[in-house]
Amino acid sequence: MSMQPSGPGEIPVETVRVARAAFPKGSLAIRVRDELGPLFTDEEFADLFPARGKPAWSPGRLALVLVLQFVEGLTDRQAAEAVRARIDFKYALALELTDPGFDFSVLSEFRDRLIEAEAGRRVLDGILAAAREKGLLKTAGRARTDSTHVQSAARELCWLEMVAETLRSALNTLAQAAPDWLVEVAEPEWFRHYATRAEDSRFPKGQVGREEVGRRIGADGMRLLEAVFSPRAPAGLRELEPVQILRQMWVQHFHLTGGEVRRRDPKDRPPGATRLVTPYDPEARGSKKRDILWDGYKAHLTETCEPDTPNLITNVATTDATVPDSVMAGPIHASLAERDCLPGEHWVDAGYPNAAQVVAARSEHGIALHGPMAANTTAQKDGPYGQDAFTIDWDKQQVTCPDGITSTQWHHRHSQHGQPVIRVRFNPADCRTCTHLRDCVSSPKAERREITLRHRAEHEAVQAARTEQQTDVWKERYKIRAGVEGTISQGLQRCGLRRSRYRGLAKTSLQHQLTGAAINLTRIDAHLTGTPRARTRTSHFAALRPADQVDGAKQQGPN
């Protein structure tokens, strides 16, 4: 299909008359159109369509339909039906009352175009641009960020189900691509074991029986891979995605020992960042946060938090579940800078800030990154000979201990995590004669003190942050961060934020961009109608807490 750009157009007179009569108090769709005007134009999405072909339904209107769909939690069929039957949708889209709308499959096709062009962020940016024009978006002040887990759309599988379904998926694909070849290759027992979906209830309950089934599945998969990769196999079979997933899954879980297929020990399996958890969503990864275990992704939401304006989401980032929060501050700041949404202060939880991120935020973007810094975990962190008791002379590249002894070695190295550090060592001749050696070193056999330092800018940033964070003033200011948890709750309840609707990182990322846009529309509408922000819920029992215990309880910050 091709796209011939058209202007936003005026709302048809008859549509206006009927909508005003049907909604005398207005509705979200009507108020958003009245206050913000047309949010998207066809020209913004012109690059997603070819120059020639059958005319496509207006992409500017489709973008708004996607947002309204997430505002109300509609399926594609329900969203298409709303465009066809609901007067307030026709008003927001500037359609005639007799407009038949479109087939629901158009929404899926349009999402695919957005994903292919990595254009999902345009939808969120369109809402932000309209809000900025109306003075509803202030980005120079404070912002806050938090992440939440997102479960994959694919069902969670136990180990036997995972390997059996991986093999079954490959067999089904090969049955379509080369049915005659597969009939010759397939073992007779394969039709009994892999013709139907694997269910945990169908496997033995005993551990010995389950291990035997696992070895049988491993051997069957290995025989299929040998056949696919043999010179006699039809060309192109090994490049099929389910076959590649089967190969990766088998490398991950099985190995040959003396010609026999055996399951790998956990210590021999690849790290979580590359480990498949399901054949039906190969980009999903397994992760753990405290007592939460999940297979899927992570979503990072950044929002403004200024008084007198709605708290609007300015950035949404989606990663696989294994990416730690500690590496996300930089990408988030880069994305905000690209769209002129950088805050002056950025408030985050303890997972985000570290020395490098704090320094980079300040030097590259002029942002004060605030969040609890990790405590000093060195073995000699406390006491009169703790690391903080040593004096550092950065210019002379020397460190002096509390007893006045000066270090003799200063080397630039890298930590076990690949971070640049400075290794400082004292002379053993000086330390062996010191009466406080055993108090100074952590090892009973050590003959000298060694210290690992960050580079100067990072070291000073950490020291300053730890000092500031002990003050009551900072603790009071930090309460503003807690409000972002309400945003995650709103995303969960309104848009199903913690469950991916689609499979794959790109589609899940688009879902989260649309979620951010939908939350922004609802917050703009609440601001326009004077709807107060929800207060933190307190149970009846919690309300009875004595006043002298309130400070010790976990407090929620202002929204």
Q: pLDDT tens digits for 362-408?
A: 999 999 999 999 877 676 656 788 888 899 999 999 999 999 999 99
pLDDT of residue 364: 95
pLDDT of residue 533: 77
Cβ atoms of residues 69 and 107 within 8 Å: yes
Mean pLDDT, consecutive 10-residue stretches, the chain (559 aa), reads 60 95 94 93 88 76 96 96 96 95 95 93 95 90 96 94 96 96 94 93 93 95 96 94 97 91 91 93 93 94 93 97 95 96 95 93 95 78 82 95 94 87 94 91 89 92 91 94 93 94 96 97 93 79 76 48
d(CA 173, CA 246): 11
Cβ atoms of residues 143 and 337 within 8 Å: no
d(CA 426, CA 408): 5
pLDDT of residue 5: 54
- H or E element: which one contains 239? none
- pTM for the model: 0.89
Backbone angles phi, psi at 53, to 5 degrees: 130, -175
pLDDT of residue 554: 47
**Collapsed DSSP state (helix, strand, coil) of residue 530:** coil
pLDDT of residue 555: 46
d(CA 11, CA 68): 18
